[in-house]
Amino acid sequence: MRVLPGLYVGNYRDSKDAAQLDKYRITHIVAIHDTARRLHSDKHYLCVLASDTPEQNLTQYFPLCNDFIHAARLRDGNVLIHCLAGMSRSVTVAVAYIMSVTSLSWKEALKVVRAGRAVANPNLGFQRQLQDFESNRLFDERRRLKERFPSLALVANDEEQCSIMLDSYDRLLLARTICEGKCPLGVPCPTGVCRGRGRSTSTTSSSQRRRKSNQRGTSADISRSPSICSTSSVNRPRSSPAGFHSYTGSAPPSRSSSRVELHMAGCSAPCTPQPSPPVSPQHFPRRSEALQRVNSASNT
């Protein structure tokens, strides 16, 4: 769970566990998943509504998340970044932050996160976004952070801790305590990262796996945390209490809608749209009567 001093990565269940949050003295929470919302009144929140699909644009949120995380750590706060399973979205944000405040590449930063959380495994779309971020935007983001946060209080310690975590990653990899997500289908994965995912060495085609998956009524992807909270039936006010600060930003369209909510001391997330009622089937009886009349006429 712990990645760097003051930085933790976990899943939705971790974010709900008040005892665990108190144990690690979590003061700030970055929630990034489809139903991200504020759960604890005594925590500072940054809520990012984003789906775990390769098409979801997470790069647009990196500067905002970096500011939130870095400001908290500079004030001796402890930040938890979480999604649903703590494998893809939260890991991607953590990797982008580590890249931005250290000299590490995206692959090295991912190893640092995996050394602290073995199941870390962003989807391929997020990995491409991290690679693009490193190639085209990382230099500007590092410069921007240095201008906004001139303090060097975390620099030396973060570099040292990353070096320690990279050494730990190499030892864990040799001991097969962790893997790099390349276990072929049928070979036990030490972390469960590769469970249900076929590789090039597998003799089972992807279409065959999908057919078998549909027959079982389950997904062929990695199973997610069972602790998923549905908020479709909950109406929450859009306005914030007096004296609190909230930020709601719009994002470019993606396959799934995305939105950001910044809760500095206790504002609520916007209402979740209610599903439209089904179309009334009143026209079906009239069609049935018409068919009966046509059949009677033909019989006569």
Spatial neighbors of 155 by CB under 8 A, at least 6 apart, are: 101
Structure tokens given for 276: 């439209």
Residues marked as catalytic = 83
Centroid of chain to Cα 241: 28
Spatial neighbors of 226 by CB under 8 A, at least 6 apart, are: none
| Rounded CA separation 234/258 (Å) | 19
Of 110, 102, 48, 37, give the one whose Cα is nearest residue 73: 102
Buried-exposed string 192-222: b where 16+ CB fall within 10 A, e elsewhere: bbbeebbeeeeeeeeeebeeeeeeeeeeeeb
Q: At what angle do helices 106-116 and 124-136 cross, to 10 degrees?
A: 130
Residue 130 is classified by DSSP as: H
Q: At what angle do helices 89-101 and 106-116 cross, to 10 degrees?
A: 120
